[in-house]
Amino acid sequence: MIVKKLHEAGIKSEHAYLAAVGSIGLSLFSWVASNKQENLERADRWGIFVGEWAPTFFALGLALANYERNDLATEATRYGGDA
The pLDDT tens digits of the residues spanning 4-16 come to 999 999 999 999 9
pLDDT at 35: 74
Average pLDDT of the segment spanning 64-80: 82
Q: Rounded to an integer, what distance in angstroms lies between the CA atom of residue 50 and that of residue 11?
A: 21
pLDDT at 49: 87
Question: Which of the two residues, 78 and 29, has the higher pLDDT score?
Answer: 29
Q: Is the pLDDT of residue 56 over 90?
A: yes
Instruction: Collect all residues with Cβ–Cβ distance below 8 Å to 68 and sequence separation of at least 6.
Output: 7, 12, 13
Q: What's the pTM value of the predicted model, to 2 decimals?
A: 0.77
pLDDT at 69: 92
